[in-house]
Amino acid sequence: MSITLQDEEVIFGLPIDGEVLVGLTVVVDGDWSQLCRDLLGFTLPNDNKTLVGQRILISRLVEAIAAPLPHDATKMQIHQYARCYILALVGDKLFMDKSRDRVHLTFLDFIRNLRDLPQYSWGSGCLAWLYRELCRASEKGAS
C-alpha cells in the first residue's frame, strides 16, 4: 500500500482541492536574505550555514518564534511571527527532506499573504514532495 491523496486529506486535514503549489526556486528581485528580512523579520548571518542555497535551518525559524510577541506588536511583526511559525511547521512536518533540518524558502511565496493559505492544494503538494524525496533517498549513493 502507498500513501494516497485521500490519506493526506484525512490524516493531516490538508486541502486537496485548489491551486497547485508551483513556484520559482530563485528570487527575481534581490536575494533570499532580503526576502527573509522582509517576510520573516530577521537578518541572516553570513555564515554559509544558516542559509544553504534556498534552504534555511528550521532551528533559526524556531529561534525567531521562541520568545512570545510583545503586547504592543505591530501587524507586520505578527505576520512575520506567523510566517516563521508556519514555515517551520511546513518544513518539519509536511515538506521535510532527508536532512530533516532545513526548509526550502520557495514556500515563503505561498505564505506571503496569510489570507491566501486556504486557496492552495497543500495535500497534493505534500504528497508530491514525499514521493520526490523518497525517490532521492533511494538513489544509489544517497546518505
Q: Tell me the pLDDT of the chain (143 aa) as tens digits.
A: 678 888 888 888 888 888 888 766 666 556 778 888 889 998 888 887 888 878 889 999 999 999 899 999 999 999 999 999 999 998 888 888 777 788 888 888 888 888 888 889 988 988 888 888 888 888 888 77
CA distances to 32, 52, 136, 137, 138 from 141, rounded to whole Å, are 30, 21, 10, 9, 9
Going 127 to 132 to 97 to 122, the CA torsion angle's sign is negative
pTM, 2 dp:
0.83
Beta bridge mates, 120: 19
